[in-house]
Amino acid sequence: GESVGLHLPTLSVQEGDNSIINCAYSNSASDYFIWYKQESGKGPQFIIDIRSNMDKRQGQRVTVLLNKTVKHLSLQIAATQPGDSAVYFCAEGSYGSSNTGKLIFGQGTTLQVKP
Amino acid sequence: NAGVTQTPKFQVLKTGQSMTLQCAQDMNHEYMSWYRQDPGMGLRLIHYSVGAGITDQGEVPNGYNVSRSTTEDFPLRLLSAAPSQTSVYFCASSRGTSGRAEQFFGPGTRLTVL
């Protein structure tokens, strides 16, 4: 079946280092991808999205890279801070219907930032 | 703006009981959704709505009902609670314009069914 998966369940980085969180997807029909951040006890928070007609998109301290050839998505966080500690989810869907909530979510990667 | 609010924060039910999880948003968003999140898993869509009076099923709709009588509110009803419905439930809303799924999530309701 279709699935979205993350390569590592936990990523530990030193404060100030760059973090890279990876995600694999298997539905070649997906044309829209999103990264969410979920802090303990809270709901997910939208970080950044990318459509399949792009390879890279940058936000504030975050960059999402999309490699459609190998169906791989990554989230890069520059100068990681303690406040970045959270679970990060990737999600895939169709650009035309994703705003209805029709997304396939990955299992999540826990990012731990060491001071 | 309060954003997306959910009540209650915590709930314990016995098997067979029914209850309603409340969700409200004050951003005038057209689209609203309900998800469940099980330990170590991503979110799964239960039901969604694209506007008042319009609802549709998501990935895991069985055992749940929804209605959307107003733009602001989107309650989720558990008809006869089962232990398999023990989960954290999140409500989300989005503007609905274009395809961007910039959803705003509520803080969640942690439900335990005994």
Rounded mean pLDDT, B72-95: 96
At residue A110, the pLDDT reads: 93
- For residue A4, pLDDT beyond 50: yes
Decide if A21 contacts A88 (C-beta within 8 A).
Answer: yes
Q: What length is written for chain A?
A: 115
8-state DSSP, B69 = S
- For residue B1, pLDDT beyond 90: no
Predicted confidence (pLDDT) per residue in A27-51, tens digit: 889 999 999 999 998 999 999 999 9
Q: Report the gap between the CA of A73 and the closest CA in chain B (Å).
A: 16
Decide if A104 contacts A2 (C-beta within 8 A).
Answer: yes
Q: Choose among B42, B56, B94: nearest Cβ to A99.
A: B94
- For residue B96, pLDDT beyond 90: no
The three-class DSSP label of residue B96 is coil
pLDDT band at B91, cuts 50/70/90? very high
- Percentage of residues of chain B with pLDDT beyond 90: 84
- For residue B62, pLDDT beyond 70: yes
Q: Mark yes or no for CB contact B45/A32 under 8 Å.
A: no
- For residue A60, pLDDT beyond 80: yes
Q: CA dihedral defined by B4, B110, B47, B100, rounded to 10 degrees?
A: 40
Number of CB atoms found within 10 A of residue A32's CB: 21
Rounded mean pLDDT, A73-90: 96
Residues sharing a CB contact under 8 Å with residue A87, sequence separation 6 or more, in sequence order: A37, A38, A39, A108, A109, A110, A111
pLDDT band at A3, cuts 50/70/90? very low
Q: Scanning the structure block, which residue is given the tokens 């503007």?
A: B95
Q: Mark yes or no for CB contact A93/B101 under 8 Å.
A: yes
Cβ contacts from A onto B, under 8 A: 85
CA gap B12, B15 in Å, rounded? 10
Predicted confidence (pLDDT) per residue in B8-61, tens digit: 999 999 999 999 999 999 999 999 999 999 987 789 999 999 999 999 999 999
- Percentage of residues of chain A with pLDDT beyond 90: 72
Q: Report the gap between the CA of A58 and the closest CA in chain B (Å).
A: 16
Q: Where are the beta strands (DSSP E) in A26-108?
A: 32-38, 45-51, 56-58, 62-67, 72-77, 86-93, 103-105
Q: Mark yes or no for CB contact B42/A41 under 8 Å.
A: no
> Which 21-60 residues of chain B touch chain A by CB within 8 A?
31, 33, 35, 40-45, 48, 50, 56, 58
At residue B44, the pLDDT reads: 94
CA gap A111, A36 in Å, rounded? 12
Predicted confidence (pLDDT) per residue in A84-115, tens digit: 999 999 999 888 777 777 888 888 899 999 98
Decide if A90 contacts A106 (C-beta within 8 A).
Answer: yes
At residue A77, the pLDDT reads: 97
Closest residue of chain A to B95, computed from CA coordinates: A99
